[in-house]
Amino acid sequence: MTRIAIIGGGISGLSAAFALEERRKAGADVEYTLFESSMRLGGVLRTETVDGCVVEAGPDSFITEKPWASDLCRSLGLGDQLIGSNDAERKTYILVRGRLIEMPDGLMFMVPTKILPTGLSPLFSWKTKLRMARELISPPRPADGDESVASFVERHYGAEMVDHLADPLLSGVYGGEAANLSVRAVLPRFAEMERTHGSLSRAMLAARRRMPTAQGSRPLFTSLRDGMQSMIDAVVSRLSPLSLLTNARVQAIQPEAGGWIVSAGLQSDHFDGIILALPTYAAAQLLSVCGPELSAELCAVGYSSSITVGLGYNDEVRQSLPPGFGFLVPRSEGMRLLAATFVHNKFPHRAPEDRALLRCFFAGANAEAVWPFSDDELVGLVRGELEKILGLRAAPLFARVYRWKSAMAQYGVGHLDRLDRVERLRQKLPGLALAGNGYRGIGVPDCVRSGRDAATQLLDSR
Ligand SMILES: Cc1cc2nc3c(=O)[nH]c(=O)nc-3n(C[C@H](O)[C@H](O)[C@H](O)COP(=O)(O)OP(=O)(O)OC[C@H]3O[C@@H](n4cnc5c(N)ncnc54)[C@H](O)[C@@H]3O)c2cc1C
């Protein structure tokens, strides 16, 4: 019998447990125990229903293009619960000098692919528009190490594009700044496009021509009708309750006799393999004695904190809000808010027809700056900024504040080289596998895949 310990009960750890459970049911002689330090499973995936609205505390959806989360949902029997974002309403605004300006049609991330809408958009100055035109004739450029997303985007389209689009878009995903994120790790496709085509706009147009039309019509985001937590509840319902230990913080791990001793509370137990499904700094702490070099590499991956504030409003407010998915706020606007989603438009199933649901987001330095605020103070701050941005004065029917300390990994410049070193060092510790958002993707689908792959790696190495 192979005994495996999974440390961390977020979606990465649960996905590992589910993969092991599937193998066990298929006849593999394996047993697992999952240790979660908090009282609840799911990590940052958490949903509350308030006044008929589905309020997401952490992630609200995942990108459809990456299949692993949807695949897991289908394996869990949740296929009929999967919903797509309402892309017919997909408009995103950027706050520029206090005014919300719609992102022009044809922008793929920050790459313009339609000349007319971009050329006419007030989002960019003439200087940036000329840069966009010049970018079309950029020659291919050999891969030359890593650099920050900010410097990469600035080379192509200038500083305004970094401030108005690249930075706010990345803040929404990584909670971090374009100046600190690695282009090779965060935008690998763009780095490759530069190598092969030079111009990102030309490369994107060529890719679009190759894309089958059916793929173009898929919704950009996928979620679950009753919220992301239903994924957690479904995984948990498929696992043996005896294998899932909550309120069980692992304090130490130690390689012994070809396996690992795991110590939580007053208990120590021996396992053949161990999956650390944790933020890298938490994995680093556990590895500091038995793998100091690996621990130092893991410790060097940065993490940022974030806060989401869910606000429910009445129908009058719903009618007064602009159409679309929401808005992004460039740092240069001097606000604390980084983004707000109009959830009732993005996923109409998530709010009754006479309710508006807003999801407001702070991350990185902005989240740290307001961290000491009480929940009431935070709601007051959000309301003040929403009034400035949207003219929204009405009091919300409800407000929920969720704080996530150091939960979003930041892939700094050189991240992929670090991962190569991490992998070499990991191999020196047999029976150890790593999963989570600190490695090859921060999104829910990447975390699902990382957990599943960690489980497969351990079983197949035996
Ligand atoms: C506010 C927010 C919004 C997001 N939005 C999106 C989105 O819309 N779409 C998307 O795809 N992704 C989104 N993400 C990213 C994604 O949700 C996360 O990267 C992913 O869920 C991380 O899962 P995880 O299991 O790796 O980590 P976590 O969820 O952090 O789980 C790790 C678990 O380990 C436990 N733990 C820590 N130390 C120990 C220990 N010593 N012993 C035992 N247990 C321990 C913790 O209590 C925690 O439960 C968002 C993240 C946040 C924070």
Percent of the chain with pLDDT over 70: 99
Q: Which of 38-42, 180-184, 212-216, 357-361 has the lowest mean pLDDT?
A: 212-216
pLDDT given at position 395? 97
- Do the beta carbons of residue 276 and residue 250 sit within 8 Å? no
Task: Give the mutation target among 444, 449, 453 for probing the ligand 1 site: most ligand atoms within 8 A of CB.
Answer: 444
pLDDT tens, 84-122? 999 888 899 999 999 999 999 888 888 988 888 988 999
**β-pair partners for 363:** 306
Q: Cα of 238 to ligand 1 centre, how many Å?
A: 20
pLDDT given at position 328? 97
Counting from 1 in the atom list of ligand 1, the atom nearest the Cα of 438 is: 26
pLDDT tens, 402-428? 999 999 999 999 999 999 999 999 999
Can you give the pTM of this predicted structure?
A: 0.96
Q: Is the dihedral of CA 318, 392, 91, 174 positive or negative?
A: negative
Q: Is the dihedral of CA 227, 78, 409, 94 positive or negative?
A: negative
- Do the beta carbons of residue 357 and residue 370 sit within 8 Å? no
**β-pair partners for 303:** 409
pLDDT given at position 371? 98
CA end-to-end span of the chain: 11
Where does 239-391 have alpha helices with state H? 280-287, 292-299, 315-320, 343-346, 364-370, 375-390
Instruction: Compute the average pLDDT of residues 321-326.
Output: 96
- Do the beta carbons of residue 201 and residue 190 sit within 8 Å? no
pLDDT given at position 14? 98
Instruction: Compute the average pLDDT of residues 283-306.
Output: 98
Q: Which of 192-206, 230-244, 403-417 has the lowest mean pLDDT?
A: 192-206
Q: Cα of 347 to ligand 1 centre, how many Å?
A: 22
pLDDT given at position 215? 52
Instruction: Compute the average pLDDT of residues 8-36.
Output: 97
- Name residues whose C-beta falls within 8 Å of residue 127's C-beta, 6 or more positions apart in sequence: 158, 160
CA atoms within 13 A on the CB side of 276: 28
- Does 59 contact ligand 1 (Cβ within 6 A)? yes
pLDDT given at position 216? 55
- Does 407 contact ligand 1 (Cβ within 6 A)? yes
- Does 58 contact ligand 1 (Cβ within 6 A)? yes
Q: Cα of 45 to ligand 1 centre, how many Å?
A: 7
